[in-house]
Amino acid sequence: MKLDRAVNIDDLRTMAKARLPRMVFDYIDGGADDEVTLKHSVSRFDDYQLTWRTLRDVSKIDCSTTIMQQKTRLPFFISPTASTRLFHPAQGELAMAGAANAKKVIYACSTLASHTLEAIAEANPGPKWVQLYVWHDREIVKTFLKRAKAAGFAGCILTVDMPVAGNRERDPRNHFSIPPSPNLKVASQILARPRWLWDLVRTPRITPANFAHLRGGNAGETGGVIGFVNEQFSRSTTWDDVSWMRDAWEGGFAIKGISRGEDAKRAIEIGADAVWVSNHGGRQLDTAVPVIDLLPEIVEAVAGRADIIADGGVRRGAHIAKLLMRGATGVALGRASLYGLGAGGERGVEKALAILEDEFRRIMALLGATSLEDLDPDLMRAPKA
């Protein structure tokens, strides 16, 4: 299928599957354990049914909003995902950043990006945020945040739902690693995708590009990205350890990976501007509650004191609308944009964003809504408990 013939995100998923080695596609597509959360995060949207207002003038629709102090043309944006050169070795984060800039939406860069902050900022002079985890070495984090601020990143996202990596069973079955390690099974998968292999061999090794100065320029070389994560990430962090990160960053600050009202309140107490409700795409704790079901508790706890960002299972414009109607301020895209990247690089990501924008605007019109304020919760019927 040619990129311009894709009519929905599932088409882009099919194209990405055809272009990527199995281990790489499964890394995007897979989840933890039995992948229950992965499946339910998508299917749960179907249980929320819509009503609509008739005879409304929907000739002009305004989808603009402000998320974590950042004005944006659309209420959805690209979520941080690690090592995206794996999915398109020639472009990676530069494609994601460039597509976001072209579509005038926010781009959130992972701390484990495979391009430098400075290169990403050059690809996207528009609105952008940077994500980080809790590390053992505070000085590394402080230096990273200073670079991000100097490069023009306006927001910071602290991800807190990954004290250990989830049990993603597709990865060991595929002998997956970042970067790929040579063995017979990996070789057979890669040789089946010669275009991807050609991009891989003619581009630099995939490592955490923003930490090349560590280990004498060898960060991520010995144990790969996963080894680097295990070495640097802290498992003993508590709320008391997070406050200094807020103090170290001047700008919008979000805490990502919240699933309970009590934690949403703690996030606001330490100065978070946004509470990010997420189950990490079903990649961490399996059988986690779908985000759309979590939102009312978070909304009640936040009580208007901070923005609420939601992600998880978004494949349709209607999914975005439903999350907004449940109380989200903004919606983050993970796999939807990665399927576009795998399908066709920057053009593929632009296609994914364009598909979701078209769907979202159509849903707005069909609901009789001309602005995000019109997405009244009364237009949606939640499933009975």
Distance, in Å, from the CA atom of 133 to the CA atom of 41, rounded to the nearest integer, reads 23
Nearest to 341 by CA among 50, 22, 86: 86
- Output the six-digit token pair for 2: 């040619």
- The alpha carbon torsion through 241, 283, 9, 376 (nearest 10 deg) reads -60
**280 among known catalytic residues:** yes
Please list the helix, strand and coil fractions of the chain in percent, rounded to the nearest 5, in that order.
50, 15, 40
Distance, in Å, from the CA atom of 211 to the CA atom of 351, rounded to the nearest integer, reads 31
Residue type, 380: M
Q: Which of 40, 115, 280, 319 is catalytic?
A: 280
Identify the three-state secondary structure at position 100: helix
Within its chain, how far is the Cα of 205 from the centroid?
23
DSSP per-residue letters across 303-366: TTSSEEEEESS--SHHHHHHHHHTT-SEEEESHHHHHHHHHHHHHHHHHHHHHHHHHHHHHHHH
Distance, in Å, from the CA atom of 134 to the CA atom of 178, rounded to the nearest integer, reads 21
**E strand residue ranges, the chain:** 49-50, 65-67, 70-72, 76-78, 107-109, 128-132, 155-159, 252-258, 274-277, 307-311, 330-333, 380-381
Nearest to 167 by CA among 309, 287, 292: 287
Which residues are marked as active site? 280
